[in-house]
Amino acid sequence: MLPIDGDIFDCIQRGNIDQCAHFIQHDRSILKEKGWGGFTPLHFAALQGNRSIVNLLLSNGADPNLTCDAGMTAFHLACRHGNVYVMHQIMQHGADLRMVDHQGKTALHHGVSGGNIVAMQYLWETGMFRWCDGDMYNVTPLHLAADAGNTEVVRYLLRNKRCMVETVDEDGLTAVHVASERGCIEMCWTLLQRSGFRILHLKTYSGHTPLDLCRQGRTFRHLQLAKLLTRYMKEPPFSKPDESPILYYWTLFFPCLIGGVILIIAAMLGGYGGITCAVLFPWLARSIFSQFHRMTTYQRLANPVYLGTMIAGLFHSLVCFYYKILPPSLWGDSVLGHVSLVQFSMVLAMFWKILTQDPGELGPGDADPRYSSIADLLEKKQNPQRFCIYCELFQPDHTKHCKLCDVCVRDYDHHCLFLNRCVGRGNHRLFIIFILSMAAAHLLFVAAAIYHLYVVVVSLEDQSLVRAVAAQFWVVTLTIMNALTILWEAWLLTEQFDAIAMGTTTYFKPTCETRQRSLGHRWTTVLTFLLEGRRRLDYGQTEDNSSIDI
């Protein structure tokens, strides 16, 4: 045995289980020894969330109900760390869930401060805690979540009326007061959606409204929140903040409208049209692709600007094709006219279908019946993340929650920003066929546009080539965009076919064995999927069976 530096606390800090075991074998009374803050080795290991060392200490007889100087047990600290494995271990070794610390805080209060929702659910399932219970200062879990600035936890606590927003602590503060004092704009918005604006007129025992408390802060977010609260104070007390549909539809049609405006400006500038498009379209692309996934920092609506870009691309390409490339006089006569009509109608019909078809959302009746509680998951050596903290369901295999759609999706592939929807079991095949038909339509457009430009160039007489092509800026711009889209679609289809050939989706990893499949086997799998919509379930084991420490 190597010489040991320091004491058992240093060993726990370093995570050295062998040295800890050596200390315990040497002198068992060390398990009751108190170090900094009155922490025993078990307190320290629980705070670190070190599962192996906690197991070692407990199996050697460490008492889980010893308290530190602040009156906290090792279980309280495990809840604060949020490692449910450690919590489960300590509970199985006789942790007394009724114990409170010197501030009257229960394990649930510590769990909420820690911020792990799975840990909170685990505690609630014991039936020993109530969400409305306050500590000796009447601070409730909702106050603590607001103070920690954790909006996800606040949403969880408001769901199913676990906590009431109106509850006040011993100073008369509601959670809205606490969130305003901290300048948390998204959290205030979430709380006000539940309580209505009337809570903004409630005063603390020292006479402060949430707006007064917010104005005490001087940071940028405090200033932003103060502006919003000032506006809300003038609203009727029983109304609630809404998602803004005007902003939503403006964002949705922004690419289409601005694209149209740029083309009109280019047409008015005649010979300078080409250069106008060359400057303004990259600017438009930059302003679209630099946007976030949600509309604003506090509203929950997904940003529809990418869907708007898709609509703009389809709309402008169709207008350009039928007005410029294929003149109205040829619509009914040429083969191209007939082919394009069938092709583009198919694309539009599929676009509509994919926007309305269920991607495979998991409903309350579809939860995995094999599991009934977090403790059950732990006992069966499953990943506790199988419990979706948003839908509060036990996910079946190969299911993932999409935060933007706010649903769990079976056989999740990805959230497509350009469709503003998830791709999963319900629409994966439709998605692939849609992309294939889109690629065909884009190829048709680009080929027809290049032929159109060729005709323009060969019919030149005394005009210069550059000026003639510049005058065709509309066709040139859309040809470049559609050609770039074909490259993107080729990449997307390669990724998709690769995943489908392995019998999986792009989100879930294939097993090593499926990676070695022959080319023929892969193509059979892809064709089976496209023709029958049947997936050969062959997901990787890495996602679901591993016990991941959280």
Q: Residues in the site for Zn ion, rule: CB under 5 A?
A: 388, 390-391, 401-402, 404-405, 408, 415, 422
Q: In angstroms, what is the minimal distance from the CB of 423 to Zn ion?
A: 8
Q: Which one, 435 or 526, has the nearer CB to Zn ion?
A: 435
| HEC secondary structure over 454-472 | HHHHHCCCCCCHHHHHHHC
Nearer to Zn ion, 79 or 388 (CB): 388
Between 405 and 439, name the residue whose CB sits nearer to Zn ion.
405
Closest approach, Cβ 251 to Zn ion, in A, equals 17
Instruction: Tell me phi and psi for residue 102, to 5 degrees.
Output: -65, -15
Distance CA 539, CA 510 (A): 5
362 close to 391: Cβ distance less than 8 angstroms: yes
Task: State how beta strands 407-410 and 414-416 pair.
Answer: unpaired
Q: What's the closest the beta carbon of residue 533 comes to Zn ion, in angstroms?
A: 20
311: its two tokens: 């609509």
3-state SS, residue 181 = helix
- The encoded tokens of residue 397 equal 């295999």
Work out how close the CB of 384 gets to Zn ion at its nearest, in angstroms, rounded to a whole number: 14
Min separation Cβ 501 and Zn ion, Å: 24
Cβ neighbors of 406 (< 8 A, separation 6 or more) are: 300, 390
Radius of gyration over every alpha carbon of the chain, rounded to an integer in angstroms:
31
| Residue 201 DSSP class | G
Q: How far is the CB of 399 from Zn ion (least distance, A)?
A: 8
What is the sign of the dihedral through the CA atoms of 537, 542, 545 and 549?
A: negative
Q: Smallest gap, in angstroms, from Cβ of residue 313 to Zn ion? A: 21
Q: How far is the CB of 415 from Zn ion (least distance, A)?
A: 3
Give bridge partners of residue 399 from the DSSP assignment.
410
∠ CA 403-406-407, rounded to 5° = 115
Structure tokens at 292: 């976030």
Looking at beta carbons only, is 259 or 424 nearer to Zn ion?
A: 424
3-state secondary structure of 296: coil
Pick 66 or 404: Cβ nearer Zn ion: 404
Residue 534 is classified by DSSP as -
Nearest approach, Cβ of residue 90 and Zn ion (Å): 29
Q: Give whichever of 396 and 510 is closer to Zn ion, judged by the CB atom.
A: 396
Q: Which is nearer to Zn ion, 347 or 419 (CB)?
A: 419
List, in sequence order, the alpha helices (H) in 93-206.
107-114, 117-125, 141-148, 151-158, 175-182, 185-195
160 vs 329, beta carbon nearer Zn ion? 160
- Long-range contacts, stretch 542-546, CB < 8 angstroms, 24+ apart: 542/509, 543/398, 543/508, 543/509, 544/382, 544/383, 544/386, 544/397, 544/398, 545/381, 545/382, 545/383, 546/383
How many other CB atoms are found less than 10 A from the CB of residue 324?
14
Tokens of 38: 């009155």
From the CB of 118, what's the least distance to Zn ion, in Å? 13
Q: Between residues 259 and 304, which has the closer beta carbon with respect to Zn ion?
A: 304
